[in-house]
Structure 1
Amino acid sequence: MTDLWISFSVLGLVLLLSELTRRVAARIFPGDYQIYLLEAACTFQLCSCTHELKLLGESVQLEPHIGLTITYIVTLIHLATFRGASCNASGALESFCRGNSSFRSALVLIAFQFGAGVAAQHFVAVVWSLGLSDVHLRHQRFGFRCFDPLGGTVLEAAAVELACGFIIQAAVMHIHKLDERLKAHFIAAVITGLVFTGGSISGAIFNPVLAFSVQFPCSGHTYLEYCFVYWLGPISGVASCILLFEKIVPFLSGKCTIRLDVTAAKKQKTQ
């Protein structure tokens, strides 16, 4: 139980540092610089918290309902503090493809996200080296190494990441139909469900930046295999979701409508 509370304290420290950075950025830096620093602070928060929670989950035998409850609550905190930041390279690419941002802006944003992911790696290593808990001490003795994060084959893990990317994108695209008070809870519930369903196979990361920070340093597979699973998988899921709901479904709906209109016109002519 002591290890659990120490991990919660680490999460609280990360949240305070990230919130301080967000407030400083909002007051001092104008325009695009504020957006970049906001993304960096939020991505740092996401990656650092995930590092700590992953270590806790692998080292302490938590009951499934406790682990899922922690995931749900931490996700709610992220959603409440991110202030619109995506913390996801897929979001930056989507914004560019939709024409909402320039290629340069998207590239700089992604660079800040990956930089924050690397900063999170170094930050948690410093915290773990303090040996605040038995979990941290054991991890320190292993040289802060992590091992094979895949619970299935590379193709199975990539399929899980693709499915997770598709589902979370679909949830985001249709969330406007919900009451404002339910939106954060809905997204948190979806993410928690995905972690429960796909976590044992790929970790259910569905975020290229988060995966680069948390999963890529692990042994067990090559860099290209991790790119295939954690970059190509979720990006393909997001792209296929957008293609389905914004292109294919409207096209088929329009086609069906045309067919119905033609049928009705033929009936009127025969009458």
Structure 2
Amino acid sequence: MALSDLLISSAFIVLCCVCAQLARKVLDRFSSIHGLVRELILEAIAAAELCSTCFELIIVADNFGVATYAVYLFLLTIWWSQVWVDSTACPYNHMEDMVEGRTTPRDVALKTWAQLMGGCCVWRIVQFFWWLELAETHKGRAFEDCSADLQVSPWVGAVIEGFATLLCRLASKALSDKSPKYANILDSFIGTSLVIAAFNYSGGYFNPVLSTSLKWGCSGNTDIEHIIVYWIGSCSGALLSVPAFRHPIVRNLLLGEKIKDE
């Protein structure tokens, strides 16, 4: 594939990030919008940014290889860690907060809904861009039938998504506690590495909103299988990280805290 095709994909990814950042700046102008409503809008913007860029990353991975995809994902996750602030574009972060008593089930449900709306609605923008066929790699992609990324049984896929999400969340919690220099870069590197490790098995989504926005209804697995793998699997892994991170052995391993005798 021509370098110009990669440049067009890169330009679209940058454009999506710029538009999302402009949307956040516009929201900042409206001081009357605050509290939960503001949080919901920011979650929708973050999810739209995540899913629009990841749609284009599918093009990058298919045509320029997983290594190129990994570089782009690594750089994007660093960018998101800088601009999203408290937004997550992922429901299980809020589920963890609920388990730890920092939020309510209602707020979790509303933020998950906002994320899904942002992630799913942005597809029409991506589809229009692909329909323009500015790049050779976009030809025929706007209206083609999609296929699921799950290459193993649903139960194995759920374990992969769950275990990788558990590792991601433990790493993020440890880095947050230790606050080392370049913590966001380390977190991005770990997350990207786990995505690549799972790429040829489950797709390496580790985010129910992302997987649903990109792959819901695609051929290759049923809706129930999709829920088992990408919702139950990843959310279970994230929720398990809460008690796991409190365990003395885990804290000793990740933070170097000595295990105290009872």
Match of 2:72 in 1: 70
Q: Which of 40, 43, 47 is equivalent to 1:39?
A: 43
| Amino acid corresponding to residue 228 of structure 2 in structure 1 | F
Equivalence for 1:266? none
Alpha-carbon distance in structure 1 between the residues aligned to 2:130 and 2:45: 20
Shift of 1:249: 5.0
Structure 1 residues 255 and 194: CA distance shift in structure 2, 3 A: closer
Q: Is the 8 A contact 2:61 2:68 kept in 1?
A: no
Q: How far does residue 187 in structure 1 lie from its aligned partner after superposition? A: 1.1
How many angstroms apart in 2 are the aligned matches of 1:231 and 1:93? 12
Question: What residue identity is the alignment partner of 1:97?
Answer: V
Q: CA RMSD in A?
A: 2.3
**Aligned with residue 86 of structure 1, among 61, 85, 88:** 88
Residue 128 of structure 1 aligns with an amino acid whose one-letter code is: W
Q: Write the letter of the residue equivalent to 2:104.
A: S
- Deviation of 1:96 (Å): 1.9
- Between 172-181 and 208-217, report the one with greater CA deviation: 172-181
Structure 1 unaligned residues grouped into runs of 5+: 259-271
Query: Which residue is 2:210 aligned to?
Result: 210
Q: How many residues align?
A: 254
Letter in 2 for 1:101: T
Measure how far apart 1:97 and its partner are: 2.1
Q: State whether residues 60 and 69 of structure 2, in contact with CA within 8 Å, keep that contact through their aligned partners in structure 1.
A: no
- Structure 1 CA distance, aligned partners of 2:94 and 2:177? 23
The aligned amino acid for 1:195 is V
Offset at residue 85 of structure 1 (A)? 1.0
Distance 1:6 1:19 in 2: 20
The structure with the larger Rg is 1
- Is 1:257 matched up with 2:261? yes
**Partners of 2:185 and 2:40 in 1: CA distance:** 26
**Which structure 2 residues correspond to residues 144-183 of structure 1 after superposition, within 5 A?**
144-179=144-179, 181-183=181-183
Deviation at 1:256, TM superposition (A): 6.5
Cα distance 1:255–1:198, how it changes in 2: closer, same or farther (>3 A)? closer
1:132 to 109, 131, 134: 134
Partners of 2:214 and 2:165 lie apart in 1 by 17
TM-score by length of 2: 0.89
TM-score computed with the length of structure 1 as normaliser: 0.86
Counterpart of 2:113?
111
2:19 — aligned with what?
Answer: 17
Q: 1:107 to 1:148 in 2, by over 3 A?
A: closer
User: What SS does the corresponding residue of 2:156 show, helix, strand or coil?
Assistant: helix
Post-superposition offset of 1:255: 9.6
| 2:115–2:209 Cα contact (<8 Å) kept | yes
Structure 1 counterpart of 2:227, one-letter code: C
Q: For the residues of structure 2 that align with 1:217 and 1:128, how far apart are their CA atoms? A: 20
Give the structure 1 partner of residue 198 of structure 2. 198
Aligned to 1:243: 243
Unaligned stretches of 5+ in structure 2?
251-256
- Structure with the larger helix share: 1
* Aligned residue number for residue 221 of structure 1: 221
* Counterpart contact for 1:149–1:218, Cα < 8 Å: no
Cα contact 1:125–1:144 (8 A) shared by 2: no
Q: Is the 8 A contact 2:96 2:242 kept in 1?
A: no
Q: Does 1:49 align with 2:65?
A: no
Deviation string, structure 1 residues 80-128 (Cα, Å, up to 9, x no partner): 2212211111012122222212222222111101101111222211211
